[in-house]
Amino acid sequence: MRFILTSLLLGAGGLLATAVRAQPTDAVVTVPDLMQGVQQWAQDNLDTNVLAALSQIDPAAVQRFYQDWQARSQGDYVVDMAALRQTARTLLPLLQSREETRPYAAWLQAQMEYLDVADEIRQAAPPPPPTTNQPPPIINNPTPQKERALWVTHETGRPWPAAAKSYVAELKPVFAAQKIPPELVWVAEVESGFDPRAASPVGAAGLFQLMPDTARRFGLSLWPLDQRYQAVPSAKASAEYLKYLYSRFQDWRLAVAAYNAGEGTIQKQLTRHAAARYDEIAGHLPAETQMYVPRVEAVLLQREGATLEQLPPPQN
């Protein structure tokens, strides 16, 4: 039964990614659409014994985790991600228990930090007033300065990921060869915990969690071997992408934000708010991005003693 649940979760996640990529940029993937896709995926991919057992699982519960992750990570409020923490903690060991699902476990393990910090923000919020028949008050996002302080506290004293020592030594020269600060290799800790097997439900893969289109854009092959899972090629593509993003936004915080949210999202907010700096638009970005940028910066501070603002621009 655990295998059935895991398979359905992975199938639902893949379908969500496919549905999102197939829609126009302003389209919304509805729950009925996704559930119909899950049912079709089950018919196409699971054997008859598994199909016979599907009636024992609530399909809405199977679908909800990925749907909630997408909605909350791309939503407006950081604290909303805290609601996924317990479900993710339950799911993680199931994914870790089977070889074929460990890439998804590596992805989810790296995301747990967001859920932990979101929960810290939730617990630190003042209690709601003792009123009746009133919805709980919205917990506003921390300021960018407060977010950076929270993440510095969270990362202080954390040991290096197990695989980081060998990868950092190998990949810093790859970043330096692209004429960008080699310290940015630590993006891999945030993206994958330096686990090259990591694969997300929306199609990102490898140490630097490159999406297929981004990988192809910067010269990687996805077939017959997916180079996103190879350390050096994926690092080179990641460095080239970060270099391009800096050339576009002229700021490392904005470049890192665009690496996570997409350059179109960042440009849209800069234009809408007549802004030029990350702090001016941070509160308008997806919840995950609001935490991603200070998390990257806190990791850099912990590992290299530098902030994003202190990194030099790419060399010509």
pLDDT at 202: 86
State residue 12's pLDDT score.
Answer: 41
Q: Which residues are catalytic?
A: 191
Which pTM does this prediction carry? 0.81
Stretch 264-276: mean pLDDT: 97
Three-state DSSP string of the chain: CHHHHHHHHHHHHHHHHHHHHHCCCCCCCCHHHHHHHHHHHHHHHCCHHHHHHHHHCCHHHHHHHHHHHHHHHCCCCHHHHHHHHHHHHHHHHHHHCCHHHHHHHHHHHHHHHHHHHHHHHHHHCCCCCCCCCCCCCCCCCCCHHHHHHHHHHHHCCCCCCCCHHHHHHHHHHHHHHCCCCHHHHHHHHHHHCCCCCCECCCCCECCCCECHHHHHHCCCCCCCCCHHHCHHHHHHHHHHHHHHHHHHHCCHHHHHHHHHHCHHHHHHHHHHCCCCCHHHHHHHCCHHHHHHHHHHHHHHHHHHCCCHHHCCCCCC
Least confident of 8-12, 53-57, 229-233, 246-250: 53-57
pLDDT given for residue 63 in this prediction: 61
Q: Percent of the chain at pLDDT above 70?
A: 79
**Given this model, what pLDDT does residue 66 score?**
78
